[in-house]
A = this chain, B = another copy of it.
Amino acid sequence: MKKIALVGCGLVGGSWSLVFARAGFSVTLYDPSPASIDIALQFVKKSSAALAEMDLLRGQKPEDIAARLKTAGSLEEAVHDADYVQESSPERLPIKQALYKEMAPLIKPDAMIGSSTSGLPPSSFTEDVPNRERCMVVHPLNPPHLIPLVELVPAPWTLPSIVDTAEALMRQLGQVPIRLNREVTGFIVNRLQGAILNEAFRLVEDGVCSAADIDAAMTEGLGLRWFFIGPFENIDLNAQGGLADYCAKLAPMNYAIAKEQVDPRKWTDVLLADVHDQMRQRTPMEQLDKRKAWRDRCLALFIRMKSNILKENS
């Protein structure tokens, strides 16, 4: 697998192009909007300089990255000789459905397509395309050039060998793929995040605590462990006899909690306005972009530091 085509050059596509080029691949960028391609190229330029400064470019130079990127003036030009297409088009079903139909006759018979969609099941936009068994979801977290996790989600008709190929490719990129055995709503990441968000909104709506209290519970508590130890290993290390021992003691409390979380609630306008206002007291709307830049910088620093500390303490 040598040639990569990126179809859709928004935030996600731009970051993907850096991920592929950083691993040595030739990457062709395409977007129906030429302006989006330019923005993506600028993003890669700026981000690869920042990563190089932090030693996160894995021995590459920003100019090497730039040299591996090409742009295409049409979808056909982008995908006709690609071995792998990473599709990051807008999250709207009719757009994806039309795009997959358009791509099918243009790509090589042995090429595969991974979709960056965070929420659309792969079956919803690949059912009617002739190459559907070579299509699946390859969902990154944003931004993939910093966050390693990638969810691999096959449609019912995706060939297992295609999932294998995607998994091997992601490892080659230095990403961390997890493999779902089938489609589920929200995949894994959004199901876990959804469980947290739904409970967090429930607690605020019921007047138990503030939004800031929820966030502190994570950043000053749970999140300090989950940064490097997952939920299962965390409980495995929290009892003398491992996970089985933990569950023998605490399954009843967790079941009691589950029984109190059975009312799926729509987030009401009143609730959302309340929590949104609480967020604005923390970060006024006009400072949101500055705060995002702060987040991205800290995220990069934390990830570098995590990698160093884990290497020194392996």
Contacts and interface: CB of A to CB of B under 8 A. Distances in A.
A230 B255 contact: no
A227 B230 contact: no
Nearest to A258: B264
Contacts of A197: 231, 235, 254
A188 interface: yes
A207 B197 CA distance: 24
Nearest to A236: B279
Interface in A238-287: 238, 241-244, 247, 250-251, 253-267, 272-273, 275-276, 278-280, 282-283, 285
A260 B185 contact: yes
A46 to B, nearest CB: 18
A232 B217 CA distance: 11
Nearest to A267: B251
A294 to B, nearest CB: 6
Chain A residues touching B, range: 35 or more
Interface string A129-166: 00000000000011000111101000000000000000
Contact of A257 (B194, B220, B231, B253): B194
Nearest to A248: B272
A96 to B, nearest CB: 16
A168 interface: no
A93 interface: no
Contact of A226 (B207, B209, B218): B218
A203 interface: yes
A244 B272 contact: yes
A171 interface: no
A282 B237 CA distance: 12
Contact of A313 (B191, B216, B243, B298): B298
A246 to B, nearest CB: 10
5 contacts: A149-B216, A186-B254, A186-B256, A194-B257, A218-B231
Given A176-B220, A224-B147, A231-B196, A309 B301 contact: yes
A146 to B, nearest CB: 8
